Structures are given as structure tokens and as C-alpha cells.
Structure 1
């Protein structure tokens, strides 16, 4: 079983006092089962760029540019042809506008047969996508309908 980790999960780890359930949930999985999307890296970059210059911004940049690439080496997924194809089908089936980043993350998870790890279950209500919220369900997985 592999997991696509959403931005809000990684951001939680950078808090002064991260939620213990999130930390436990991640630590209970082998690192080799945890993946990122390039989109998550972009969202993290956007957030850090919005911070004022200072020690916190410097620490977060080091984390983004050094620690994350090292920890997730070989496990950062691109938006490739297969993901783009799945995304297009997902949008067509939805029949309604969907947030671009969330729907691309969903398409990535579906393409690679992964479980989406996020706090925002409502953002990933896509048919067949398995989602887990480590804030509330340390071991549980929800399949959206």
C-alpha cells in the first residue's frame, strides 16, 4: 500500500507542536510507501515565498530544498501523460468545476493506485479515491463514492 501525502500533512510537521496523531500515523508507515506530487512541492514553495525574510523562512527553505528531496528521493511523482489522461476523464465524469490542484492530486493517486493522505477529505470526493485523514483516523481509510 502506498500513500500520496498532501501539502497540509507536511505543513503540520513543520508546526511548533505538530498534532501527535499525524506524527504517529506517518511514523507507523515505512518511508518507502510515502510519496509526494510535484504539485505539493509547488504549494509548499508558494507558502514559503509569502513569508517575510527571517529565520523561519530560512529554515523552511532549507527543509523544502534539502530535507524533503532527500527524504522523498525517488518518490516525487510528476504530472505525466497517464496522470493528465486520468485527470481529463475525472473532470469529464464530475460534470462540474473542480479545483485544479486537488483534482490533479486525485488523478495522481488514482493513476498510481495510492491512498490520498489529507486533512481535507471534502476536497477529494472523487469516485473510487481512497482517502485517509491522519488527524482523525490513525489507521482508517475512507473510499469516496
Structure 2
């Protein structure tokens, strides 16, 4: 399982995405790529605060397609159990 961050999706949505990001993602098994609901919220927030226009409309369509088709069934919820796991992992990494 690979959990991609918001910035990976954002990079792919740029007019000229970084080729290294595109290459890295295309080399992954798509069924092993996941996103968190927090990243979904960040993407949707970014779109919501953009001014209305063609670029925003195109990005809304692109994000909706990515979430609905490319990542269908692979958006992970962030619940209380996830919060506890995060705290445990983050604390262990900090002391490592």
C-alpha cells in the first residue's frame, strides 16, 4: 500500500507537472495507491477557495474524476483509530 499525499495530486494537476512525479506514479501498481480523506478535503478546499472560472471548473472535473475513477474504493477514512495510530507512529519516529 502506498498512500500519496495531497501534493502528489496537486502536482499532477499543474499545467506542466514535474516529469519525475508522473514517472514515479506511473511506475506504481495503481491498485496499491491510496489517498486519505484528509487529502481529499485539502483538494476540495483548495478548489472551493479558487475564483470561479474555466481553470477552476477544469480542476473540479479533474479532481472528481481522479477521486471517483482512479482512486475508487481507495480513499482511506481518518477516524479515531487512525488518529491513535498516527500519534503512536509520529511519536516513535520523533524519538528515533
Residue matched to 2:17: 18
Higher relative contact order (CA 8 A, sep 6+): 2
Give the structure-1-normalised TM-score.
0.59
CA–CA distance in 2 between the matches of 1:90 and 1:30? 25
What RMSD, in angstroms, separates the aligned Cα atoms of the two structures?
1.9
CA–CA distance in 1 between the matches of 2:66 and 2:9? 12
Query: Would you say 1:34 and 2:33 are equivalent positions?
Result: yes
Aligned length: 95
Deviation readout 1:31-57 (Å, 9 max, x if unpaired): 011000000010001111111111110
Which structure 1 segments of 5+ residues have no match? 94-125, 129-144
Q: CA deviation at 1:81?
A: 3.6
CA–CA distance in 2 between the matches of 1:8 and 1:88? 22
Find runs of 4+ consecutive structure 1 residues off by over 6 angstroms. Answer: none
Give the structure-2-normalised TM-score.
0.87
